[in-house]
């Protein structure tokens, strides 16, 4: 059980009075009357059983107890403010929060974000990662990119174009492969949540289903990328992700034979009939181009 804590308003008043040197100035900053601030301080002192401020006709001074208590109060308020802003952000007109699968966040959005920010310096972009998609659009999220079939109740899902699956591996290994059938005997990387990818890939190419051999099982495409780039096997990735990785030279696509994916990327909105704020619309347009 947590110990009893003083009222947060009382602590804010105490910190403001100590910093500004008076009830009136503290009240102006906090949007309170001088009497309300004075009452907060008195209530705090009563709960603590110690006098925190020495009141004289000319000025206010911290008592020994007040001087000892102030650093802890100030630190706690600062940490709470930083944590709140970090987690929930500034909901101003120029602030836009994007939530996307972790692999798309790291491999597609983040590398392109720096250039977008240069062209839009007034926007405050907050990029959040998700491993598993939720049913509902998370509160506080302006835009969500989600991978799936588009069937999520309560939200409008706008498809961002068709998606494919392609094999990727270390460039040295790719040079040794001559045809898709060569993949059958190689260690394969299995990604949880994409159980149909390997069977679908071989079936579409008219190849016999291989044994269920895998080199490793991972829970994100991001982990599969790192494993494949280290020479740990072949992974099947979405075409948009694979193209960017191949362009950077980290991985290679041994066979340019894309297989249609049953899943694609969607841009989610709560209410398709109500236009979002201009900053959100600008980011949505950029994401449509990025995932096209």
In this predicted structure, what is the pLDDT of residue 193?
83
Is residue 48 very low, low, confident or very high in pLDDT (cuts 50, 70, 90)?
very high
In this predicted structure, what is the pLDDT of residue 109?
93
Say yes or no to pLDDT of 172 above 90. yes
In this predicted structure, what is the pLDDT of residue 86?
62
How many angstroms separate the CA atoms of 142 and 279, rounded?
Answer: 10
Answer yes or no: are the C-beta atoms of 165 and 258 closer than 8 Å.
yes
In this predicted structure, what is the pLDDT of residue 137?
56
Q: In this prediction, what percent of the chain has a pLDDT beyond 70? A: 88
Say yes or no to pLDDT of 25 above 70. yes
Long-range contacts of 280-284 (CB under 8 A, 24+ apart): 280/96, 280/142, 280/143, 282/120, 282/123, 283/96, 283/98, 283/123, 283/125, 283/142, 283/143, 284/143
In this predicted structure, what is the pLDDT of residue 273?
46
Average pLDDT, the chain: 85
How many angstroms separate the CA atoms of 179 and 198, rounded?
Answer: 16
Integer-rounded Cα Rg, in Å, for the chain is 28
- The H or E element that residue 146 is part of is strand 143-148
How many angstroms separate the CA atoms of 96 and 11, rounded?
Answer: 32
In this predicted structure, what is the pLDDT of residue 92?
56
pLDDT tens readout for residues 150-169: 887 777 889 998 899 999 99
Cα 151 to the chain's mean position, in Å?
Answer: 22
Average pLDDT score over residue span 180-194:
87
How many angstroms separate the CA atoms of 260 and 131, rounded?
Answer: 23
Average pLDDT score over residue span 71-77:
90
pLDDT tens readout for residues 118-154: 999 988 898 888 766 655 556 567 888 998 888 877 7
Q: In this prediction, what percent of the chain has a pLDDT beyond 90? A: 34
Pairwise pLDDT comparison (276 vs 262), residue with the higher score = 262
Say yes or no to pLDDT of 260 above 70. yes
Say yes or no to pLDDT of 213 above 90. no
Answer yes or no: are the C-beta atoms of 239 and 107 closer than 8 Å.
no
Average pLDDT score over residue span 191-208:
87
Answer yes or no: are the C-beta atoms of 190 and 217 closer than 8 Å.
yes
Structure tokens of 278?
């201009």
Question: Which domains, and CATH codes, for the chain?
Answer: 8-88 (1.10.10.10), 95-162+264-291 (3.40.190.10), 164-260 (3.40.190.10)
Q: Which of 11-15, 55-59, 285-289 has the lowest mean pLDDT?
A: 55-59
Residue with tokens 């990818």: 197
Strands 143-148, 264-269: pairing kind: antiparallel
> Which among 238, 254, 232 has a CA at the least distance from the CA of 187?
232
How many angstroms separate the CA atoms of 113 and 110, rounded?
Answer: 5
Is residue 170 very low, low, confident or very high in pLDDT (cuts 50, 70, 90)?
very high
Average pLDDT score over residue span 198-207:
88
Structure tokens of 253?
């696509």
Q: Decide: helix, strand or coil at residue 3.
A: coil
């Amino acid at each position: 059980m947590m110990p009893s804590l003083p009222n947060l308003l009382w602590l804010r008043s105490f910190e403001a009075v100590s910093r500004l040197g008076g009830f009136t100035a503290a009240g102006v900053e906090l949007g309170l009357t001088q009497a309300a601030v004075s009452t907060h301080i008195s209530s705090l002192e009563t709960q603590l059983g110690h006098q925190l401020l020495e009141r004289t006709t000319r000025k206010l001074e911290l008592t020994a107890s007040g001087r000892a208590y102030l650093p802890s109060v100030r630190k706690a308020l600062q940490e709470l403010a930083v944590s709140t802003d970090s987690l929930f952000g500034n909901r101003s007109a120029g602030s836009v929060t994007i939530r996307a699968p972790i692999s798309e966040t790291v491999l597609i959005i983040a590398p392109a974000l720096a250039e977008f920010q240069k062209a839009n310096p007034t926007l405050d972009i907050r990029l959040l990662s998700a491993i598993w998609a939720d049913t509902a659009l998370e509160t506080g999220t302006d835009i969500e990119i989600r991978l799936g079939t588009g069937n999520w109740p309560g939200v409008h899902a706008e498809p961002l174009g068709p998606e494919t699956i392609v094999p990727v591996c270390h460039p040295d290994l790719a040079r040794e492969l001559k045809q898709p059938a060569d993949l059958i005997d190689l260690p394969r990387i299995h990604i949880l949540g994409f159980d149909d990818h390997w069977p679908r890939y071989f079936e579409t190419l008219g190849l016999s289903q291989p044994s269920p051999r895998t080199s490793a099982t991972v829970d994100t495409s991001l982990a599969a990328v790192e494993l494949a780039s280290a020479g740990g096997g072949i992974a099947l990735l979405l075409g948009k992700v694979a193209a960017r990785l191949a362009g950077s030279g980290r991985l290679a696509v041994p066979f340019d034979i894309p297989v249609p994916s049953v899943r694609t990327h969607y841009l989610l909105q709560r209410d398709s009939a109500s236009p979002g704020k201009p900053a959100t619309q600008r980011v949505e347009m950029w994401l449509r181009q990025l995932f096209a």
